[in-house]
Structure 1
């Protein structure tokens, strides 16, 4: 049987741009998945007939699998570009600001970035009683630049994209919660109302930690009036911030960084208690079960209460996704499906699948797959303000821009996220 690969595979392999529209990219991905299903069915038939897979079939399947990953990354890149704030042709690097104070701040910030002139910026931030007015600590970027950075981070930081987000003005966000809930009961219309027990309250604490990036610019770039310095700095720092955040939200230990979801204690779902993340085991160390592998995914889904399940997302890395992409249900339908539209994620068992490269690979006792309502389960805390310090001295002739933001994170509802562990 012949399986023609999509034309874009050849172009992607050479590193050239495909030039396809988002809709065409999505159609190419669907075509690739059709070829993937055909080759995988052939692989399964070979295993059933003679107990092994032909080498050429395995290589072909792996090649199409890589193509699907490349097309997903291209679709993600297109979604990221769409998430960045637009600039109209008439702005010529000045960016739109909705009020006079905003325009004045932006113009002063532009003078600081290009020439190091901070007098106007210092006066403006002193008037606003800003904690960022100290030249040794840097200056706050214009509000629209900060908003653009946060929008881009939401598009490219996997956990942030699905987590709950809270902006705060203090260094620590404290959230009270009830460990037993208020007491209640049924009574007759004229019956006495006995006093109920008060709820037991505890407190979750989410400290914000400093995250930094230090892009460098040449003097000629800063002197070029056609260059939008705000857009340049946003594009330079967003990828660096997103990479650091993505790792911290998954595996961070809470020391000078957010606490990641995998840093919390884990217990079997049958013994779950608050403060732990519940786990479902595959029953096989370091692998899915040899038969009915998709059943453990069903067990994982239904370990979550219905109130959380309706907003559930799968989270795993690319290599784990390659393994589940081959799975079928009892009727022979593939559990993994490509995105339904441009900007949408792929789905697994009809739930959105989020690819987070910091999730662990499939291995013995590894929690390689998470499922849950992350908006209720994991909280990202952003302290208002992105700060920049201009440094023209440390790396002459380049000008460094020490850019910082404060962010924290951690699990806020331990019942909203479950993990699949590859253990016996």
Structure 2
């Protein structure tokens, strides 16, 4: 199916799910709950298919642009849309006027693609793009089966459904440029803008997915904010052993498939040096440690290194973390901020929200307290 067809299908499925959810307001019936769960599963599959279709379509667009560039020898010839955009930015920087508008689709696509490559968590999360607030109903307590004696009644089981609501928080990136810089080759200016904006957004998103407080109007809700209880506490304040890491992975239970281990780079180094009782390394000393029990290791500075009371390793199934993007990234030229140095600020903003859908899909290993 095309991207358009998938979007239309997704919109219809959400309407159907909303109707099913409303039907359960006055009481839960087994057939209604089953229908809702089946519809939710179909929506999940369609969201995944749409994400892949959009990625492929974006890659095809960029590949075609690259092909045209090679045929022309280099990318000195840019699109009319990009030329108008750069001219507007240059004019705003040089004469002190203000440019406020949307980033052209070709440049926005390049920023999005680079943001995906620089960021370590976004691409693994569940993602959706919407224009308004969004509420997801998620399974709570599950219905269980029991043995029933002859002639006895089957006990009624009423499943519960929880809700996770999403709004939009603004992330901003501010970069400084000089009038001389914007007068340079257009392609260099585009590459510089996309590189810096994408890298800044990616780094901040990784931080917020892990540690966002969800407080006020300024933060999405991070994993460590939702998951307050530590699944495993190490025996020592300054060491973590392999058995403790294995127990952490095991604590994920049914959510272990597709999970990753998130830790500080220093923690990864310490684990790679672990030895058994015979003084032999658990992991090949000449090879980089990339996974433990098949769980990929992701290193981020935002996770605490090993230390007394520190939450050092997160076992995470990021398919149960939802990112909600608002459409359209915006650029604004700030005229007065760096006037004394004859520079201007270019501010890029995006709006997004994020939250944990199932806290059981995230487990934390903490070091013993001092």
Q: Where on the TM-score scale, by shorter chain, does this alignment land: which range?
A: 0.5 to 0.7
- Structure 1 distance, partners of 2:144, 2:77, is 58
* Offset, 1:327: 1.5
SS class of match (1:243): helix
Counterpart position of 2:140: 179
5+ residue gaps, structure 2: 1-58
* Offset, 1:352: 1.0
Q: 1:94 to 1:382 in 2, by over 3 A?
A: farther
**1:384 aligned to which of 310, 327, 331:** 327
Counterpart position of 1:350: 294
Please tell me whether the aligned partners of residues 98 and 333 of structure 2 are also in contact (alpha carbons under 8 angstroms).
Answer: no
Counterpart position of 1:92: 75
- Structure 2 distance, partners of 1:195, 1:140, is 58
Alpha-carbon displacement from aligned partner over 1:203-253 (angstroms, at most 9, x marks no partner): 112332111112122223323344354332111212222232222222221
TM value normalised by structure 2: 0.68
Indicate yes or no: 2:360 matched with 1:409: no
SS class of match (2:116): helix
Q: Which has the higher contact order (CA 8 A, sep 6+)?
A: 2
Residues 184-333 of structure 1 mapped to structure 2, 5 A cutoff = 199-255=159-215, 256-267=218-229, 279-284=231-236, 286-288=237-239, 293-305=241-253, 307-328=254-275, 332=280
Counterpart position of 1:158: 120
Residues 7-22 of structure 1 mapped to structure 2, 5 A cutoff = none
5+ residue gaps, structure 1: 1-81, 96-102, 118-134, 268-277
- Structure 2 distance, partners of 1:300, 1:422, is 12
Q: 1:329 to 1:350 in 2, by over 3 A?
A: farther
Q: 1:337 to 1:141 in 2, by over 3 A?
A: farther
SS class of match (1:420): strand
Residues 94-113 of structure 1 mapped to structure 2, 5 A cutoff = 94-95=77-78, 105-113=81-89
- Structure 2 distance, partners of 1:113, 1:196, is 65
Q: 1:247 to 1:297 in 2, by over 3 A?
A: same
Alpha-carbon displacement from aligned partner over 1:121-168 (angstroms, at most 9, x marks no partner): xxxxxxxxxxxxxx9893111223222222222222222243222222
* Offset, 1:106: 3.7
- Structure 2 distance, partners of 1:412, 1:250, is 14
* Offset, 1:400: 2.1
- Structure 2 distance, partners of 1:179, 1:158, is 29
How many matched pairs? 292
Counterpart position of 1:365: 309
Counterpart position of 1:275: none
